[in-house]
Amino acid sequence: MAGKQLPRGISNNNPGNLERTTERWIGMSPDQSSDPRFMVFDTPEHGIRALMRLLINYQERHGLKTVREIINRWAPPVGRDQDGKSYTQNTSGYVHHVSRQTGFDPDEPLDLLDRTTCEKLARAIVRHENGNPSLHGRPDDWFDDATYSRALVMAGFAAETKPLASSRTMKGVAVTAAAVVAGATGIFQPEDVATAVTAARAFGFNEIAEALPHVAAMLGLAYTFYARWDDARRKLR
């Protein structure tokens, strides 16, 4: 299995199997001599980007918005190769496969300017064009999520951002805030501790949240003993 030859689209870094035209795409390899029909790209991200940009062009320039319309243009029942020879392909089977992979109805209007929609359709096309990746010792998909994320950004989509509560910076702020509230030398109120517990839970620090009331109680007790000792030292009691 390990020595099995990779599909053409994977070895060309062109997983959508875009055919050669006179147009130069971003990331096309300077040397295109290895394949007489399909484009060769420098990286998989460049090939996936080209696939996504072409899908967007189908919508924006040609008004194609359903799986059936898009695939009928992408892989028409009758096509011609670079030598002008005609060939046939199972377009209806292609439509069915992409529809099943994406969960989109074949005639459902889509918005390919939506990041998730464009990614789903691109992944399904890559799967259909190159076959089952598990036959080549790969997991469920030909490329990992990070590769698709980079391709999406290259295609013009905004980079994904982590929810604020999951960022390391905000987690650090939550820990610091909780420590300040709970660890202030006894100068806190019960509502302060409750606020710190809520903040810790909101940022996923359940263990810290559970410990805060106990820490606060111990600090309060320690502060009480310190206050009594200090008062006695200063002869205030």
Q: Identity (one letter) of the amino acid at 91?
A: T
Could you tell me which residues are beta bridge partners of residue 78? 88
Report the relative pairing of strands 78-80 and 86-88 from DSSP bridges. antiparallel
Alpha-carbon distances, residue 90 vs 102, 129, 218, 219 (angstroms)? 19, 12, 73, 74
The residue among 41, 46, 44 whose CA lies nearest residue 31 is: 41
pTM: 0.65
- C-beta separation of 38 from 51 below 8 A: no
Alpha-carbon distances, residue 114 vs 74, 98, 110, 119 (angstroms)? 19, 17, 9, 9
Determine how many CB atoms are found less than 10 A away from the CB of residue 93.
12
DSSP per residue, 159-213: PP---GGGSHHHHHHHHHHHHHHHHSSS---HHHHHHHHHHHHHTT-HHHHHHHH
Classify residue 79 by its DSSP letter: E
Specify the pLDDT at position 4.
75
Residue count of the chain: 237
3-state helix/strand/coil string of 88-103: ECCHHHHHHHHHHHHC
- In 16-141 the beta strands, taken as DSSP E runs, fall at 78-80, 86-88
Q: What is the pLDDT along the chain (237 residues), one digit of tens a residue?
A: 455 788 999 999 999 999 988 888 999 999 888 888 899 999 999 999 999 999 999 999 999 999 999 999 998 887 666 555 666 789 999 999 999 999 999 999 999 999 999 999 999 999 999 998 888 878 788 999 999 999 999 999 988 765 555 445 444 544 454 454 444 444 445 555 565 556 555 555 566 656 656 665 666 556 566 666 666 665 544
Residue 124 CA to residue 154 CA, distance in Å, equals 19
